[in-house]
Structure 1
Amino acid sequence: MGLVLTVGILTSLLVKKSSKRYMVAGKSLPLLFVGTMLSAQSIDGNSSLGNVALVYEFGFWAGAVIPIGLAMCLILTGTVYGKKLNKMSMLTLPDFYYRRYGVGAEGISSILLSLSFIVLVAGNFAAGGFILSTVLQIPLFWAMLIVSSAVLVYTFAGGLFSSAYTDIFQVYLTIGSFWAAFLFFALGFGGVDFGTILASTPSDYLDLSGLTDPDKGAIVNWAGILALGLGDVVALDFMERVFSARDGKTARRGALMGATLTISVIVPVGMMGIIALYLLPNVEDPYTVYPLMAIHLLPFPIGAALLMGVLGASMSTSNGGLLAISSVIARNLIQRDILRSWLKKTGLEDKKLLITTRCITIPIMLAGLMLGSTIPRPGVYLILAFDIVFAGAWAPLTLGLFWKKSNLPAALASLIFGSALRLVMYFITPVQYAGFDTLIPPIASFGVFIAVALLTQKKYPGSKRHGVIEYVPPEEDVVNGEDLKGYIPPKT
């Protein structure tokens, strides 16, 4: 934590009082940084500590859905979305909804995406808190307060640069520690033959029933994969890193690099949950299984690396979430929607936008801390976060990029209807049909988008009034955070 704090604070020198450099590192990062940062956002506290806990409780596939879904998302980003979005030279993902559809869609998408990411940040605060709480023998809340305060300090200081320069050593330590711990037991150094561990594991924990049998959670698992694989495309932190790449080719290759690194942890992390089931039976809180393994079952160097890895991963993703939410609130909700649309002001100049973004990190950190300490559920929080945006925001992004008839009424209908339907189904879906409440809303939202777009083409011809602009403005054409050359903002 001391190392991360030091490096993160020093990156404040790279911001140079520029909101663009603070939010997306000046759109200047090379492949190594982009790929590492994208993998850091997927190999986080939810997909490590939360993954092990879910495997311990429900079987291998219950936890494996997290890295599988995130890797699927990064592959889609690299092959379909990344290059196009990077070329648009945006600072935040809601900038796309503004350019394509106008202020109304921008405002609603900003609120939905911000709420979903507070949930994500809460999950990672909880994961880091479980590590410190177990190691230091202190209450979970105080452990989470330490983690969240550290993340706040270096996010406030360096923005996306702090993420880039801390991820570069956190990610590879994390991946290496996962494999070292798994191989320690797999090669028999843990004092128990690995074959004995596998033979003692309930059959439904390891077979394919978790993906094929609804009674074994198959529907829930597939829902989780799709929520992350498609819903995470509408992820503020992923897209923030895509925008930071110096060009579209780097963004595409960085996403594929991130996917490869994410795939590499599926086996070792999942099998740690299986190993713990044999060596640490009847643990009261499954979220303490990971730190208990590191402290009591592994040699000191591997155990310490495991603890540092998940703590660093949690802090990294929390950093990305804090920065992304604060950027959206400052740029999209305050600067454009409130000041320009409601109050008819000129907006915030660059320096004031930077100060505003930094200040907003404080209440967002507190919100994530309160939610995470009230209901500490790493892993579950990750899927829940992207359930929200998968239901409402995925269709407007995808169809807005690839369908000329996409228009403002369709975007508003999809954002509102999809998200509302997901909320309603959360309360009315019987337990035996869990998973359908994730799968149905995005399909319905997609259909609503197409139907509304076709019905409103005469008044809102999407291809004429809301076309996607792929012009990349040079630095001098960005005034007060607005790209002024190359396109006319859509009418609202």
Structure 2
Amino acid sequence: MNIPGLIAVIVFYIAILVIGIFYGKKTSKAKSREAVLVADRSLGMVVSFFTITATMVGGGYINGSAEAAAWSGILQTQAPVGYTLALIIGGLFYAPKMRREGYITMFDPFQLKYGKKIGGLLFVPQLLGDLFWSASVLAALGATISIILEINATLAIIISAAVAIFYTFLGGLYSVAYTDVIQLLCIAVGLVVAFPFALNHPAVDTSRVSESWEGTIPGNTIFAYIDVYLMAIFGGIPWQAFYQRVLACKNVRVATVSTLLSSGFAFALAIPPVIMGIAGAAANWNETDYNGTIPFPDEMKSFILPMTLNYLTPLPVSIMGIGAISAAVMSSADSCILSTSSVVTKNIYQDILRPKASQKELAWVLRISILVSGALGTLIAIFSETIYGLFILCSDLMYVVLFPQLTLILWMPQSNSYGCLAGFFVAFALRLLSGEPVLGMAPVILFPGYDHENGLQMFPFRTFLMLIGAAFIVVVSLLTHHLFHRGIIPRRYDVLKCLRNRTISRRYTINAAMLQEADDADKNIEMEKQASSPLM
């Protein structure tokens, strides 16, 4: 067992716990549900920048990028570019609109406009996405610690998940946001220090990968390639974990600027693991202390980053690498856990099941949800075989089902409950029927160009299904709006009450705008007082 590495991990975990518990006291002193879910909307530019970046740069992002670069080349390492563009688009268009309305979760606009039960239904793809995301980051940490510290991967996953669950359980978003600051610093330092050592190791000869490090895009896969990129970009937008931070920002400007800054830093942090993945692929492992199977079997390919850290860098550097990956995992795992639990508590339990629940009751529902969602993500991580596959898969349903729903509810006033349900069930059913190799699901629908030998869809079916779902939302919404609004169908047959819900949603928007104007006015008055007061 690597005793120095084990000590370093224990010290790191204790430090994160202490920080999480310390800032979690803010939650225990607050009486508002906004304290736990959106940190009383108190995050400034620095903390919001750190927590948004740390949420994106998780273990799946780091380990998955190294895995893809090592075995498929840079051109096939699509997640870093895709998710960076997602942050840019989200910061410019989606974040300002959501923060301006003053929502508490991403699903508030759905429940206000479509009704509580229908809005809660849209939580299903978010739940699956969060579970796959948390599983990918925990699996990344299990792979790293098991190789470098020579302990059981399952034990590493369970301990790491327990630490993240514990401080999230105690402090909500306050604990998560402030631990993200330390975690992101650990990620940046650990990765930047490690990659030069890996690249300059005597066993690494880059000429071995001189023709493969860039990667290729075979002609018959070009449309599938574009499909995955679009999924990473637009599937990276409708995430509760992202909007939880956006909605916790002090104002719209902080939300927008911090998101845009995060996009650039997140992309920069993908470069070191990509380089280390290429270094691992270029290494002659017979010249290292590694005594396992060469070439690596398929089940070992997702371990390329921890293998590189362990065998191609000095011990102190590999320990720093453990810290970087541990921090990355914690920063994303706690985000996934809190994201799922927040929606279960606010949008499912309070809005649908127990509208009159006390704040104390909601606090305990949130804590129980944190435990359950953390346990489910841990189980998936233990039995997963590919980190990068899980990381990409987590955006799949978000792109196909949730992206058109979020976009249209924000920018299509005529969208209604009938269109929402039609788009949801059509897109969800067609996606399941299209199969998924990562989950071992055989396709029922074979799109043009289907690769029978490898069992892969070569057609850009995700984008196609997303557009079909969006079309159903638009057409059914416009049709039912026209029929009820014109009285062609009597309003008493409006069983989903889409006309009434639209009125409620409009009132909420007006009230939110008035509250924002009042807040701005109060801030201006306070600034004028400070400017007119004599200097001390």
1:151 to 161, 164, 180: 164
| 8 Å contact from structure 2 (residues 408, 415) kept in 1 | yes
1:89 aligns with 2:102: yes
| Separation of aligned partners in 2, 1:224 and 1:236 | 21
| 8 Å contact from structure 2 (residues 112, 504) kept in 1 | no
* 1:295-306 alignment, distance < 5 Å: 295-306=310-321
3-state SS in 1 of match to 2:387: coil
1:337 to 1:435, Cα distance in 2 relative to 1, 3 A: farther
What is residue 120 of structure 2 aligned with on the other side? 107
What is residue 234 of structure 2 aligned with on the other side? 230
* 1:56-455 alignment, distance < 5 Å: 56-63=70-77, 65-185=78-198, 189-191=200-202, 196-197=205-206, 199-201=207-209, 203-207=211-215, 209-210=216-217, 213-215=218-220, 217-279=221-283, 280=285, 282-284=295-297, 285-339=300-354, 346-426=355-435, 427-428=442-443, 429=446, 430=450, 431-434=455-458, 436-455=460-479
| 8 Å contact from structure 2 (residues 64, 391) kept in 1 | no
1:45 aligns with 2:64: no
Partner AA of 1:378 in structure 2: I
| Separation of aligned partners in 2, 1:470 and 1:359 | 35
Task: Tell me by how many angstroms 1:132 deviates.
Answer: 2.0
3-state SS in 2 of match to 1:332: helix
CA RMSD of superposed structures (Å): 2.3
| Separation of aligned partners in 2, 1:348 and 1:376 | 41
Higher alpha-carbon deviation: 465-474 or 275-284: 465-474
What is residue 23 of structure 2 aligned with on the other side? 11
| 8 Å contact from structure 2 (residues 198, 312) kept in 1 | no
Task: Tell me by how many angstroms 1:21 deviates.
Answer: 1.0
Deviation digits for residues 394-440 of structure 1 (CA, Å, limit 9, x no counterpart): 11211111122111211122222212211111232443424634222
3-state SS in 1 of match to 2:395: helix
Higher alpha-carbon deviation: 424-433 or 9-18: 424-433
| Separation of aligned partners in 2, 1:366 and 1:318 | 11
| Separation of aligned partners in 2, 1:333 and 1:60 | 41
What is residue 529 of structure 2 aligned with on the other side? none
Deviation digits for residues 37-58 of structure 1 (CA, Å, limit 9, x no counterpart): 1111111111111221222222
| Separation of aligned partners in 2, 1:378 and 1:384 | 10
What is residue 480 of structure 2 aligned with on the other side? 456
1:442 to 1:184, Cα distance in 2 relative to 1, 3 A: same
Deviation digits for residues 354-393 of structure 1 (CA, Å, limit 9, x no counterpart): 1210121111111111111112432211221111121111
How does the TM-score come out when normalised to structure 2? Answer: 0.81
1:20 aligns with 2:28: no
Q: Percent identity?
A: 21
Task: Tell me by how many angstroms 1:105 deviates.
Answer: 2.7
| 8 Å contact from structure 2 (residues 277, 308) kept in 1 | no
Task: Tell me by how many angstroms 1:173 deviates.
Answer: 2.5
Deviation digits for residues 58-100 of structure 1 (CA, Å, limit 9, x no counterpart): 222333x111111111101111111110122222111121123
Partner AA of 1:109 in structure 2: L
| Separation of aligned partners in 1, 2:134 and 2:468 | 28
Deviation digits for residues 140-174 of structure 1 (CA, Å, limit 9, x no counterpart): 21111111111111110111111211111211321
| 8 Å contact from structure 1 (residues 114, 328) kept in 2 | no
3-state SS in 2 of match to 1:90: coil
Higher alpha-carbon deviation: 396-405 or 463-472: 463-472
Unmatched runs of 5 consecutive residues or more in structure 2 = 1-12, 286-293, 436-441, 485-497, 517-536
Higher alpha-carbon deviation: 298-307 or 242-251: 298-307
Deviation digits for residues 289-332 of structure 1 (CA, Å, limit 9, x no counterpart): 21121122113343222211111111111101101101111111
| Separation of aligned partners in 2, 1:39 and 1:435 | 33
Deviation digits for residues 258-296 of structure 1 (CA, Å, limit 9, x no counterpart): 101112123322222111101146233012221121122
| Separation of aligned partners in 2, 1:221 and 1:25 | 39
Larger Rg: 2
Higher alpha-carbon deviation: 423-432 or 410-419: 423-432
| 8 Å contact from structure 1 (residues 330, 360) kept in 2 | yes
| 8 Å contact from structure 2 (residues 49, 258) kept in 1 | yes
| 8 Å contact from structure 1 (residues 107, 332) kept in 2 | yes
Deviation digits for residues 232-268 of structure 1 (CA, Å, limit 9, x no counterpart): 2111111111111111111111110110111212332
3-state SS in 2 of match to 1:400: helix
| Separation of aligned partners in 2, 1:304 and 1:37 | 24
Higher alpha-carbon deviation: 52-61 or 35-44: 52-61
| 8 Å contact from structure 1 (residues 410, 450) kept in 2 | yes
Aligned residue-pair number:
460
| Separation of aligned partners in 2, 1:93 and 1:32 | 23
Partner AA of 1:288 in structure 2: F
| Separation of aligned partners in 1, 2:416 and 2:129 | 24
How does the TM-score come out when normalised to structure 1? Answer: 0.88
What is residue 490 of structure 2 aligned with on the other side? none
1:220 to 1:313, Cα distance in 2 relative to 1, 3 A: farther
Unmatched runs of 5 consecutive residues or more in structure 1 = 340-345, 476-492
Partner AA of 2:19 in structure 1: V
| Separation of aligned partners in 2, 1:162 and 1:218 | 43
1:182 to 1:220, Cα distance in 2 relative to 1, 3 A: farther
| 8 Å contact from structure 1 (residues 125, 318) kept in 2 | yes
| Separation of aligned partners in 1, 2:342 and 2:335 | 11
| 8 Å contact from structure 1 (residues 190, 297) kept in 2 | yes
3-state SS in 2 of match to 1:469: helix
| 8 Å contact from structure 2 (residues 126, 398) kept in 1 | yes
